[in-house]
Structure 1
Amino acid sequence: MTIEATYVPSPLDDTLPRNPVLRALRIGWSWLRRYPVIPFAVLVLMIVCAVFAEQLSPHDPLRGNLRAAFTPPIFMDGGTWEYPLGTDHQGRDILSRAIHGARVSTIISTAVILAGGIGGTVIGLVAGYRGGWVDQIAMRAVDFTLAMPFLLVALVVVVVFGQSLELIIVLLILFGWDNFARVVRAETLTLRESDYVSYARIQGASQARILFRHILPGVVGSVLVIGSLRVGSLILTESTLSFLGVGVPPDTPAWGIMTADGRQHLSRAWWISTMPGIAIFLVVMGFNFLGDWLRDWFDPRLRQLRVH
């Protein structure tokens, strides 16, 4: 007796691309999601540009050459290797200014993430563990910060005190700790009821030891994820402020200022605004991908879904 088997197509077959090119692209995309090569490359490149800006810049970012004004990039007619990405309306090298702009963004994001992250984490730990009036005061401070219009406050502060890099850093710190505090507080409320924290409390451990020895390691993953995601938003915020003229001083080679300088010459020299815009896009997307990968890495359930 012969039994004939009939193949019944699986619904999953429709999700697999039959085109070899599409299949290769899907495999490559899956590999990049599992191994964040591009985000780490963006991070390393940004740090290298920030540390070695003088050595990497072919020209002085502040010195212009009117004879070379509006020189196009190397891939266009009239472009030269002396100015690979072209020059602006004052003849300043865009590549050199973009490299120094990475330094400005790195300084701002590093200072804000360290100060805001540490401050917000400590506030979230104490508020979540102590509860009561301490928690109420901390959460009302978070609500107040979230309710304040940042751009309006920045405009008023800059008008009163003037433009400076330090002032922008302070403003971003004052408006950048709340996300850390909210997330850390929520996780602390859960962790403080765990068995190992209760055991440490029974053993007579001090509140400081419980917070920083037993609870803090459980929230480090979330803090790293928030920090990596905040870097992209901080760079975008700083660029927006500089574009509006209320960010760093006008003579500072920052990506937002470079973008604003070229808005009046878009029809004639589009590269003045486009090149720093591309830098902002790549860095923001790179850190967003890094934060997404860190979130999946610290969450075992998401990590298993991504692997399969």
Structure 2
Amino acid sequence: MNAPAWLVAVCATACLTLTVSAATVSAPSSSWTVLSGNYDYLADQQTGQPAGDIVGSGTNGGFFTTFNDNGSASNTDGTLGFRLRLDAAGGNKNNIAFDRVAWVGIDANNDAVLDAFIGLGMQGSSSTLGIYAPGTDLNTSPATTSVASTAYKSYSIDSSNYNYRPVDYTTDGGTTNDATTSTTGDPDYYLSFMVNFRDLVNFLGTKGISITDQSGLRYVVATSTQMNSLNQDLGGVNGGVNSPTSWSDLGGFSPTVSAHGTPVPAVPEPSAFFLGASSVLLACLRRRRA
């Protein structure tokens, strides 16, 4: 009897030691981990502002992650980073700047509910980078997702945790600096930011969710014009900022990966696990008797 595919995948993952290179916040995208998928449908953002439109697919990735353990052997600290590819520069030609909000929502226990948010807001004279709790809504779809008004943990923004620059495919990888046909001639821009992983671990612990840098996480990525909603563009979703359809059914979740960006197989329900494990054990016993 052959072992179920998911059981083989889980066992293989447990036995492998993977080395993943870390990137700085300004490093070329070739040293980041691209999260596969269509990030995003081109020119689908809701406010008519290309600087908030998440773009990219295939080799011209639209959503990336990276992790740096900072030389520590602990599996609950380090630096977790995200990078979005946006259709155009924000600000104006004399002062190019990211001038809106970016959100990364995190499903940390594979139940299709967003458990935490990492938010970057750069509006006017106000700027913030932090880890936020979900709001009191269900947080299972765009229409039911909300974010707490106050950060659980805030960070001072500097060149070590924030970067905004044009795409350069000669070093970043891909085939073009401009992934959209509607804005041909101007480069896309990368928005990158990083937070302390232990702070995320501690926050999720307050919700009864325990993670390490090897745990399976999946992400929702969005841009917004304000800090209390996801109202501009949703990564991997064609419009739908007010949709009641679940994040899963919309295709809004990234693949499930560790903090390092390594794919993590979905773990089945306990009953299915024990049934599969029992089948494998029974097959082994039969072979020994033969």
Normalising by structure 1, report the TM-score.
0.28
Higher RCO by CA contacts (8 Å cutoff, separation 6 or greater) = 2
| Structure showing the higher strand proportion among its residues | 2
| Structure showing the higher helix proportion among its residues | 1
Q: If you compute each CA radius of gyration, which structure gives the higher value, 1 or 2?
A: 1
